[in-house]
Chains A and B, each alone.
Chain A
């Protein structure tokens, strides 16, 4: 790809813009969105860049339509994305469900602000973690990635596209207002060094193709519109042929596969960053902008000789349950600073609450923990 989509070089940009550049580098050629603070800069960048790189940008009438449009474009063979924040994320839930049920690759960026409702439109929040996991009705598996820097907004948006193509489903970038609006150095590598994964296409002839039959990794190859496969795609419970089948045995096979394709591939999807873990008795778990304050607090504690480790969730979903259970045996305290009243902390408690103490350091939104806020709690529990 050499159509100007990859802006190789060094830049000084904000996280939203880096996210848009990451999408373009991943091969995104369709964007539908609706203005919303603090995600608007993603759309603005796409509106400027997509037409010049052979892609389509469209501003829809709302977030419901934006989500529907990217699903339609994806079935047309596009790599498609939308971006939003809390209120828009709520509106997208309906068609996120359709995307999950029809196994449609696409990327949805949520630059989290503080809710509920209109909340603090211009200020940070992290309270959509559980909504990302359980927001649309019914059971399905979720992949959500939480970048913590401008560079990661670029790198992990590419990763999000790759995961969506590989596992054939909507993938979330769960970022936040601070990371979205902060300016940092961004290095964009040459186009040929960018690793891109494309959706698997059917190898069988149309009359032998079974469109919703998972392969070994439970993911079915995808035939898009106009490719001669004549696939019926429905949000109704469908059999492997794609046809509606209102029966519990079909529901069992389909929904179990939708959940299992993420659950059973979780080890391959999960990305964590761990530091100072060898002898840690106290572990701070953080993600997104808060992980930056947490890192400083942990480093300060280490310099004072406290046995503190740090675990940064790069993927928030699927949750690193196995890793947490492993750690629970030797770690005495988990400290979870996050900008909500306990969402990741709730998961940590589920995994490790029977053997370790769980301390949630919550802020309801509008600001980030200072390193001192986190350090004070570390000191209290690491003595």
Chain B
């Protein structure tokens, strides 16, 4: 066989190493972002910037050095968050961020390992991994961005899409019942469970920094506007309109049974911290039963 392939264009190392350095550093938090990665790919009015910023503020609040933190994500709009952070970040396959993070966290227990991904990634294709990681209580911090649909692929229905809502694959309205994510995470064994919206930026920072200090599997759901995918067919307006809706409809109920934590954009959005308990982690149990050092050889 004769193989004809096009010549490859060389990679300009120098140009990439120095990329956008002039602009980088203007904002004090730029150190948390990889040089040359901004502008991001997210739509105007998207809630993802709020979540990314909350993660950064929580790191700062806890004084966790960047080289001791790692973010792992799956696929989707939220999945892209990992790539902007100036630390060791892993953008894995669809739904598989949690088992990847499990491996990393067990072998490097000193790292703060966070999974930042979307509702479709974590609860549809990755649902089985999430419930088992919660059951095992591995030391992984999950931040799940719930925008009620698959944004990246153009607004299809997700396991969180409300009954009768319209998406590009439920043109007559959704006939499926959505998951209550906080209830599912709590039932699976998460030691910390909270829900906030993109409107609750301060609460969210506090919640993430609490989770950082909590050994074991923690779960934070963040409801965000997706003006491009979900808002449009459901006539919910722009990002700002959605933020107003969050303000109007949200009620904080700390300690509420997560089964009761209603999430209905038309009626009420129950937010708050629902679970905060102590339980041995996988690594604790491993150390105790194996009577050895579970870390690296």
Contact = CB atoms under 8 A, between A and B. Distances in A.
B253 interface: no
A225 B296 contact: no
A98 B13 contact: no
A353 interface: no
A277 interface: no
A313 interface: no
A72 interface: yes
B8 A233 contact: no
A207 B19 CA distance: 12
Given A61-B132, A68-B100, A69-B102, A54 B292 contact: yes
A72 B93 contact: no
Given A51-B294, A236-B91, A56 B11 contact: no
Nearest to A210: B13
Interface string A17-60: 00000000001011010000000000000000001111110101
13 contacts: A27-B297, A32-B99, A65-B102, A68-B92, A72-B99, A74-B103, A77-B107, A77-B108, A95-B93, A208-B17, A231-B88, A240-B13, A243-B36
Interface residues of B, number: 54
A274 interface: no
Given A56-B106, A66-B99, 4 more contacts: A51-B292, A72-B104, A231-B89, A244-B91
A373 interface: no
Interface size class of A (residues with CB under 8 A): 35 or more
Interface stretch (A116-124, A171-179, A249-257, A374-382): A249-257
Contacts of B111: 76, 225-226
Contacts of B250: none
Interface of B: 5-6, 8-9, 11, 13, 16-17, 34, 36-37, 66-68, 70, 72, 82-83, 86-93, 96, 98-108, 110-111, 128-129, 132, 136, 282, 286, 289-290, 292-297
Contacts, number: 190
B290 A30 contact: no
Given A29-B296, A225-B111, A69 B103 contact: yes
A235 interface: yes
Contact of B132 (A53, A60, A256): A60
A33 B108 CA distance: 19
Contact of B88 (A97, A230, A249, A253): A230
A70 B101 CA distance: 10
A235 B297 contact: no
Contacts of B9: 249, 252-253
